[in-house]
Structure 1
Amino acid sequence: MKERIMQKSSILPVTSVALLLVSVYLILGYVPTESTMGWVQRVFYFHVPIAWLSYLAFFIVFVCSIFYLSTRERKWDIIARSAAEVGVVFTALVLVTGSIWAKSSWGTWWEWNERLTSELVLWLVYIAYLMVRSFATEEDRGARSAAVIGIAGFFSVPISALSIRLWDTVHPQVDIFKGGLAPEMLFTLLFCIVAFTVLFVQFLLMRISMRNVEVEIAKLRYSFRR
């Protein structure tokens, strides 16, 4: 029985690695080089999936924070905190990949336009969430305060996601549903979205599992002190 569980738990990491390897091949060896931006456009196939998954992570934080404040069940706090951790990492990768593209296209690593600034603000909001959650002296108070930030902070997500359309920025706009990409590019993008989604799920489940272990260890320590 134990061996079966271990085999099942290994499926997701193996699948994730396989999909990522195929994604790298598609990006570097299959998809054609974009005529205007050149080779650096390949960053797009990493940048877009990671960005949307960061929004998904913060949506999970938003929903689970509501559930936690409504029920006070610890599982919702654990899921929200884990999703915030993964979301912060993914948002940092969005900023890094965006800076790589900006350096090649604009000649600078950073431009203080609405799109980039809103993404930075989003990242800082959830850094604040994790700081409040981690450094609170009381566990319940920290969970409640973080949940409030998780709910209020989510409103920065649509601002960041829609900033390209809300403001006239130099950030490129591609409408994949209106023939904005060649078939090879669209296939590669969709495949990368699937690959990074599997990776996202793997990271999220790992963090939830680790948080559950931490809770059990804390309970054991408390019982020994009594």
Structure 2
Amino acid sequence: MNALVRWFHRLGSPPTFYAFAARWVPWLFAAAVLTTLWGLWAALFQAPADYQQGDSARILYIHVPAAWMSLFVYALMALYAAIALIWRIKLCEVLAMACAPVGAMFTAVTLLTGAIWGKPMWGTWWTWDPRLTSELILLFLYLGVMGLNAAIEDRRNAARAAGFLAIVGVAILPVIRYSVDWWNSLHQGATVRIFGESSIDPSMVPPLVAMVVATKFWFAGSLLQRAQVDILEREAGKDWARALAGDAA
């Protein structure tokens, strides 16, 4: 246990974290690509069409993992921001801000695929449904965190201000999760449950799980890569960063 604590403490050092990220980023992206290819192949050629929506429902293999990730990434961003504000850990500031663009991307994909799916099912690209509206608010929160972080020149003050906004915005997450239960909604209820029986065909579960895992791999790789860039910018004047830049040249 003490060895694990010491390892996490060392990982907080910018040079150590940079080396850790450089080692794992290629493997994470490779795992994401391979898992995505298998998941999409199984979704298109192994899983059956939906008994009501037909082949148009196959977009769920992108829409659902992206939607789950949009919530997961925001919660993680807020957690990193809280740790950074309470314990003044610089690495957590970096990781919190690195979460925002990736989470915004997942949220945008969720809204886009939802619109594509909604057109044949609902007859419209957009409706002010509680689930859709709250997901749109989530996108604005991500953009707000990114904008606030970019608007303040001092990097640490910027991360703290943006982190506080991220923490306040956590209130939207349960609204998104339970909106279909709390209000009358066009959006269908949960069909895949971690605990309890899912209401989709069992053969549809493996490709969906593969795509969920693929998004986790892709997020982890993107998070570490973005954190690397931010750390290099913050540590540009340090000897290790200058040595690294010299080796790259």
Corresponding position: 1:120 with 2:136: yes
Q: Paired residue for 2:197?
A: 178
Q: Deviations over 1:184-206 (max 9, x none)?
A: 11222122211221112111111
Distance 1:190 1:106, change over 3 A: same
Correspondence list, 1:73-88, <5 A? 73-88=89-104
1:134 Cα deviation after fit: 0.7
Residue number in structure 1 paired with 2:30 = 14
Measured in 2, the distance between the counterparts of 1:6 and 1:206 equals 8
Aligned partner of 1:105 in structure 2 is 121
Question: Per the alignment, in what secondary structure is the counterpart of residue 199 of structure 1?
Answer: helix
Cα RMSD after superposing both structures: 2.0
**2:205 equivalent to 1:196:** no
Change in CA separation of 1:218 and 1:32 when aligned onto 2, cut-off 3 Å? farther
User: Alignment partner for residue 152 of structure 1, among 152, 168, 171?
Assistant: 168
CA–CA distance in structure 2, aligned partners of residues 93 and 57 of structure 1: 14
The yes-or-no answer on 1:215 pairing with 2:245 is no
Give the C-alpha shift of residue 18 in structure 1.
0.8
Once the two structures are TM-superposed, the CA of residue 9 in structure 1 deviates from its matched residue by 4.7
Deviation at 1:8, TM superposition (A): 5.7
Name the residue aligned to 1:69: 85
Is the contact made by 1:62 and 1:150 (CA closer than 8 Å) also made in structure 2? yes
Tell me, which stretches of 5 or more residues in structure 1 are unaligned?
A: none
Aligned ranges for residues 47-66 of structure 1 at < 5 Å?
A: 47-66=63-82
Q: Output the TM-score relative to the length of structure 2.
A: 0.81
Whole-Å separation in 1 of the counterparts to 2:136 and 2:26: 35
1:142 equivalenced with 2:158 (yes/no): yes
User: In the alignment, which residue of structure 2 is the partner of 1:91?
Assistant: 107
Offset at residue 139 of structure 1 (A): 2.6
Amino acid of the residue matched to residue 110 of structure 2? V
Matched, 1:33 2:52: no
Matching residue's letter, 1:75 = L
How far does residue 149 in structure 1 lie from its aligned partner after superposition? 0.2
Residue correspondences, number = 217
TM-score after normalising by structure 1: 0.89
Judge conservation of contact 2:141–2:169 (CA < 8 Å) in 1: yes
In structure 2, give the amino acid aligned to 1:194. Answer: V
SS at match of 1:34: coil
Q: Distance in 1 between matches of 2:143 and 2:226?
A: 16
Deviations along 1:47-91, one digit per CA (max 9) or x if unpaired, are 111111111111111111111111222211100001112111111
Percent identity (aligned): 29
Are the aligned partners of 1:130 and 1:146 in contact in 2 as well (CA < 8 Å)?
A: yes
Rounded to whole Å, the distance in 1 between the matches of 2:226 and 2:24 is 18
Secondary structure of residue in 1 paired with 2:176 = helix
